[in-house]
Structures are given as structure tokens and as C-alpha cells.
């Protein structure tokens, strides 16, 4: 029999310090200068922080500790110190409203909140509503009764022994980003996060090595920055943390030699012009990890062909720590035509080792398993050692978990014979017209192939005859936005563009041009807000 060796985050930090102690963590500060130190220096500060937290008497093992912070070295220290003392790291989404945050902080029962200097003013405005017992400011100028983080560290002892009761102890709490409905909490354990770290670090998944320089652009409050703070340090990679607002990503990549960067598609769409017109040398950048939403195939192609950067879709959920699938071409695909390669790359990828996917159809007595042939569309269900079995503080229901132990992802998808999964839509975003389903994602993907379209979102709007009809909302490219083409011309052009690809009833009846599509707190298209905006604009029009 083997040793009963606990799988905890302390093992990750200890390994990083002993084996990769000279590796660096570099943070872009608000004044656009750098803070940079080694894993060894980070380790020493994490131990001091652990001491300070334990001695504060406010925190007991199992207590939740909030962070309201950007991607910085201090936040990274909290990522290790809080779980290291047996408490629960709870990164708060800085873009939520006061009402949402108050609910979340109260539900979590956060004992202390660590607040980043860049968000201090914003936090003060929410503070009364949130009602947290104690606040620690990550900038040095805190006024009593608040505490300054650096002061706390300087007063603390440097020696500390990790205090994690066992591998199944909770280490972190993240709330879903709330794209469909209110955010729900997911409680991770040391074991689940350790196993997720091992899984994503495999060569055919994130594939990080000690030669990499890894930059999570994904905020550290979004699904634990997709596990990168743990994965990068276990691999021994250098880490670049972009703070709250990097002014120029091309400069940041060029100056720090980033090799792998991770973020949602809207970020990559936004910075593409900057990267493609750059003067800086960004040749170190080898891979983008993209998730949270489907990356338009045209953008994948642009990055790969024009910038020589490999783009890999990662699909996952906060409920899955978050990684479920990863998309890379197989060896057998290397001789395919470019068009075939882009078609495969547009999929969300194959389940990573340790994750099981199931394509299911609900029947009167449970779920029927659907075939993996790339065509049949079904409800996507998942199970793995790093998938939630329930939500925090909510009794599990069959809306989210099946009686035989699978998570119902809320996504509908196809899976092909090779195991590549493709998201067809979120179940709630599927448009039901005359009893048939229309995929908003497929229409958006096609619209984005049109040279005049910069952004596209398709939503279902109520229709007396058909139940629902698709409505396309587009943002035009800057050149087209100033052209004097009429809306009718544009609608005709875009309809003609869609017709060869889709059945007639899929073609949206209406096309609306807007300046910007609203985004959620983590940069996804916010279709709920878009629907509200359009409805209120139409009501206003009718009234006037």
C-alpha cells in the first residue's frame, strides 16, 4: 500500500520554493513600473502573512477571508497564505454591484477583506452595505481601525508550520460570474485544486514548463484565475501579473517575455489591433489560453496566421475549478487543410484526463446517453475530482445535479468521435422558434466572418407566431461604422451572408447596429443586459 500523502496547496508552494526558488513573479504596478521578486521572497512573505493571520485571532480554521484585488504579487501571497492556515480564500468580483457583493459577502461570512489600493475608493463606497468585520489595505496608507498589509507583514514572525487539517479541507470559495442569473458559490478543497493543478499541467493541456513566462489576464476573482497561480508555480514558470489596468499589453509582453497568456475572447479581440500593429517584439508569445466564452474562429485564425501565436480553447466552469476540456490539434490533424484545422480549433476541445463528459437527453425516467458523432446535440454533463457536487449554502437540486452524480453544465453541445466537444449554446440562450432550436453561437460565429462586423450577439425576442425569433445585434468595424450605408442595406447584406449556411427559419428578421455590446463582470457578452437595453429603447420609441 502507498503512503497516505495529503494533496494540499502547501505542497505546491514548498516544491516551488525548494526546486524553483530563483523563479520570478513580476507585477505591473498602477504607475506602469514593475515590482519583481523571486519565489523564495514570495515564500518568506507568505509565511509571515500566515503568522499574522493566525495571530490576529479573528480567523479560525475554516473561516472565509475575502480579497477585493487585482492581479498582483500581494494577491498571489494571499492565494497561498489563506489556505495555508486552513482558512478559505474568497476572491471577490470587483465588478459586481454593491447589492450583489453584500449578498455574497454575507452568505460567505467573510471575516476579513483584503482590499487593493486601486479599488480602495470603490470599496469605501460599498463598505457600509457589505458590512465586513475587518479590512486590511494592500497599500501602506491604511488608517485605523483598518490595517495596512505591509505593516502586518513587517511585524510578523517569519517561521510558520502549515496548518491544513486534511486534503479534503476547503481552500477556496469562488462565485460563478452570473451570466445567467445570480452568482452561486463553489467551495474547492485542497485535494480538488491539487488534482486540477496536476491535470492542467500535462503536456497536452496548458503544458506549462519551467521555461515559460505565464501571464493570467483573467482576473484572480474569476474561477481562481483558471488555476494558473497554482499551475504556474508547480511548473516553476515565471509569472507576470498585469495589475488592474495594463496600458499597453504589447509593451508588457515584450518587456517581460510572456510565453503563455490566458484571458476571455473579448480581451483578445480588443488587443488584436494593438498586437498586430505593434513595433514591439512579441515573438516570445507562443500560446493563448482562451475560455469563458467561444473565441470566434476568425480571431483564432488571425492570431495563428498573422501573429504566429497558437490559440487553445479551454472550456470550463467555476463549478469545475474550472477546466474541463482543452483544444489542441492532434498529430493526425497536421496534414489537414487550413480550413479543416480552423474548424477543429473552433471547438472547445477534448476532455482533459480526469474529466468525464456525457451528452444526455432528459427522458421520463432519467437521462439517455447520446452518441458522440459530432452532430447529435445534447445536454452536457460532467464529473471529475475537481467538479462541485453542490453549491455553497444551497441544497442541491436536480436542476443542477443528476441523481447519479453528474453536474448539469447548463450548456448544450455536440461531441465528435475523437472526443472534441463543441458548445452549441447555453441551454438558456438557445432560441426556440416554432418548436425548433436555433443556436445563437452559430449565428454569431458566422456574422463575425463578415468583414463589416466587429462584434455580434444574437438573442431571442418574443414573437406571437413563432414563440421566439432571433434578433442580431452587431457592432460594425470602425470603417463601416462611418460609411453612409442604410440599416436596410446592412440587413440585406448580412442576411445574404447567412443564407448559404443556415436553414431559412434561422435567419434573424432584424439586425440592429449598436456602438457596443454590454459585457458582464468578467468580459463576456451580457445578453440579459442587452435584452433590457433594447426593450427599454423600444418602449421609449413607442412612447415618443
In the bound complex, what is the minimum distance in angstroms from residue 493's beta carbon to ligand ADP?
27
CA 523 to chain centre: 9
**Closer residue to ligand ADP, CB minimum distance, 81 or 407:** 407
DSSP 370: P
- Residue 415: name the closest of 354, 369, 363, 364 by CA: 369
The residues that bridge with 311 in the sheet, in sequence order, are 288
Shortest distance in whole angstroms from residue 390 CB to ligand ADP? 16
Nearer to ligand ADP, 61 or 374 (CB): 374
59 versus 223: smaller Cβ distance to ligand ADP: 223
Least separation in angstroms between CB 141 and ligand ADP? 34
Number of other residues whose CB lies within 10 A of the CB of residue 347:
24
DSSP conformational letter for 234 = H
Which residue, 48 or 90, has its beta carbon nearer to ligand ADP?
90
Nearer to ligand ADP, 187 or 223 (CB): 223
Nearest CA to 359 among 350, 374, 345, 370?
370
Kindly tell me the sign of the dihedral angle through the C-alpha atoms of 250, 256, 259, 260. Answer: negative
Q: Is 524 helix (H, G, I), strand (E, B) or coil?
A: coil
Q: What share of the chain is helix, strand, coil (3-state, %, to 5)?
A: 35, 25, 40
Q: Which is nearer to ligand ADP, 11 or 409 (CB)?
A: 409
Closest by CA to 76, choosing from 46, 114, 117, 44, is: 46
Smallest gap, in angstroms, from Cβ of residue 312 to ligand ADP?
9
- Contacts with ligand ADP by CB under 6 A lie at 176-180, 223, 291-294, 313-318, 322, 348, 409-411, 423, 426, 522, 524
| Axis crossing angle, helix 73-84 with helix 228-235, rounded to the nearest 10 | 90
Q: Find the shortest distance in angstroms from Cβ 472 to ligand ADP.
A: 19
**Minimum gap (Å) between residue 290 Cβ and ligand ADP:** 6
4 three-state secondary structure: coil
Cβ proximity to ligand ADP: between 130 and 312 the closer is 312
| Residue 535: HSE in the Cβ half-sphere, 13 Å Cα cutoff | 10
Q: What distance in Å separates the CA atoms of residue 39 and residue 19, rounded to the nearest whole number?
A: 10
Nearer to ligand ADP (CB atom), residue 118 or residue 294: 294
C-alpha span between 432 and 426 (Å, rounded): 13
Helix (H, G, I), strand (E, B) or coil at 102: helix
User: What is the number of the residue whose Cβ is closest to ligand ADP?
Assistant: 179
The CB-of-515 to ligand ADP minimum distance in angstroms stands at 24
- How is residue 61 written as a grid cell? 480554521
Closest approach, Cβ 295 to ligand ADP, in A, equals 7
Residue 221, all three cell numbers: 476573482
**Which residues are CB-contacts of 539 (< 8 A; sequence separation ≥ 6)?**
none
Give the separation between CA 307 and CA 9, rounded to whole angstroms.
36
Of 197 and 409, CB closest to ligand ADP:
409
Give the integer Cα–Cα distance in Å for 331 and 205.
14
Identify which of residues 138 and 522 has a Cβ nearer to ligand ADP in the complex: 522
C-alpha cell read off for 426: 447555453
Q: Which is nearer to ligand ADP, 48 or 184 (CB)?
A: 184
User: Shortest Cβ distance from residue 248 to ligand ADP (Å)?
Assistant: 26
What is the three-class DSSP state of 64?
strand
What does the alpha-carbon distance between residue 401 and residue 391 come to, in Å, rounded to a whole number?
Answer: 10
Q: Which residues contact 461 (CB under 8 A, 6 or more apart)?
A: 468, 469, 470, 471, 531, 534
Q: What is the smallest separation between the CB atom of 292 and ligand ADP, expressed in angstroms? A: 5
**At its nearest, how many Å lie between ligand ADP and the CB of residue 520?**
7
Amino acid at each position: 500500500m502507498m503512503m497516505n500523502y495529503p494533496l494540499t496547496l502547501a505542497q505546491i508552494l514548498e516544491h516551488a520554493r525548494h526546486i524553483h526558488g530563483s523563479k520570478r513573479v513580476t507585477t505591473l504596478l498602477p504607475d506602469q513600473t514593475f515590482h519583481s521578486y523571486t519565489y523564495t521572497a514570495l515564500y518568506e512573505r507568505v509565511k509571515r502573512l500566515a503568522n499574522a493571520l493566525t495571530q490576529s485571532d479573528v480567523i479560525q480554521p475554516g473561516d472565509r477571508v475575502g480579497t477585493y484585488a487585482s492581479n498582483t504579487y500581494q494577491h498571489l501571497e494571499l492565494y497561498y497564505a489563506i489556505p495555508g492556515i486552513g482558512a478559505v480564500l474568497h476572491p471577490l468580483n470587483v465588478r459586481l454591484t454593491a447589492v450583489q457583493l453584500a449578498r455574497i459577502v454575507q452568505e460567505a461570512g467573510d471575516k476579513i477583506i483584503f482590499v487593493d489600493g486601486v479599488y480602495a475608493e470603490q470599496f469605501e463606497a460599498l463598505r457600509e452595505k457589505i458590512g465586513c468585520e475587518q479590512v486590511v489595505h494592500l497599500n501602506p496608507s491604511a488608517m485605523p481601525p483598518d490595517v495596512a498589509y505591509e505593516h502586518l507583514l513587517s511585524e510578523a514572525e517569519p517561521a510558520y508550520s502549515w496548518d491544513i487539517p486534511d486534503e479534503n479541507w476547503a481552500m477556496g470559495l469562488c462565485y460563478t460570474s452570473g451570466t445567467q442569473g445570480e452568482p452561486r458559490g463553489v467551495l474547492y478543497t485542497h485535494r480538488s485544486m491539487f488534482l486540477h493543478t496536476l491535470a492542467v499541467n500535462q503536456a497536452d493541456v496548458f503544458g506549462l514548463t519551467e521555461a515559460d513566462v505565464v501571464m493570467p489576464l483573467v482576473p484572480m476573482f474569476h474561477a481562481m484565475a483558471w488555476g494558473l497561480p497554482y499551475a504556474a508555480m508547480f511548473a516553476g514558470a515565471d509569472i507576470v501579473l498585469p495589475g488592474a489596468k495594463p496600458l499597453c499589453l504589447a509593451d508588457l509582453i515584450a518587456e517581460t517575455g510572456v510565453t503563455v497568456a490566458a484571458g476571455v475572447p473579448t480581451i483578445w479581440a480588443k488587443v488584436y489591433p494593438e498586437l498586430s500593429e505593434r513595433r514591439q517584439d512579441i515573438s516570445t508569445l507562443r500560446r493563448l489560453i482562451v475560455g469563458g466564452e467561444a473565441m470566434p474562429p476568425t480571431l483564432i485564425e488571425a492570431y495563428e496566421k498573422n501573429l504566429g501565436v497558437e490559440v487553445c480553447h479551454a472550456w470550463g466552469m467555476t463549478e469545475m475549478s474550472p477546466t474541463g476540456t482543452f483544444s489542441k490539434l492532434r498529430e493526425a490533424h497536421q496534414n489537414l487543410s487550413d480550413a479543416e484545422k480552423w474548424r477543429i480549433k473552433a471547438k472547445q476541445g477534448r476532455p482533459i484526463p480526469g474529466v468525464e463528459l456525457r451528452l444526455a437527453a432528459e427522458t421520463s425516467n432519467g437521462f439517455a446517453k447520446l452518441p458522440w458523432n459530432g452532430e447529435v446535440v445534447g445536454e452536457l454533463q460532467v464529473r471529475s475530482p475537481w467538479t462541485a457536487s453542490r453549491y455553497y449554502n444551497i441544497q442541491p437540486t436536480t436542476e443542477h445535479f443528476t441523481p447519479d452524480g453528474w453536474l448539469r453544465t447548463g450548456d448544450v453541445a455536440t461531441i465528435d468521435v475523437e472526443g472534441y466537444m463543441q458548445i452549441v449554446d447555453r441551454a438558456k440562450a438557445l432560441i426556440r422558434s416554432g418548436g425548433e432550436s436555433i443556436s445563437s453561437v452559430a449565428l454569431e460565429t458566422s456574422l463575425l466572418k463578415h468583414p463589416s462586423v466587429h462584434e455580434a450577439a444574437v438573442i431571442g425576442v418574443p414573437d406571437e407566431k413563432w414563440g421566439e425569433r432571433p434578433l442580431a445585434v452587431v457592432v460594425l468595424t470602425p470603417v463601416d461604422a462611418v460609411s453612409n450605408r442604410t440599416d436596410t442595406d446592412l440587413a440585406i447584406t448580412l442576411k445574404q451572408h447567412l443564407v448559404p449556411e443556415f436553414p431559412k427559419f434561422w435567419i434573424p428578421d432584424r439586425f440592429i447596429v449598436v456602438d457596443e455590446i454590454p459585457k458582464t463582470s468578467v468580459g463576456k457578452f451580457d445578453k440579459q443586459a442587452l435584452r433590457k437595453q433594447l426593450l427599454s429603447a423600444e418602449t421609449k420609441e413607442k412612447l415618443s
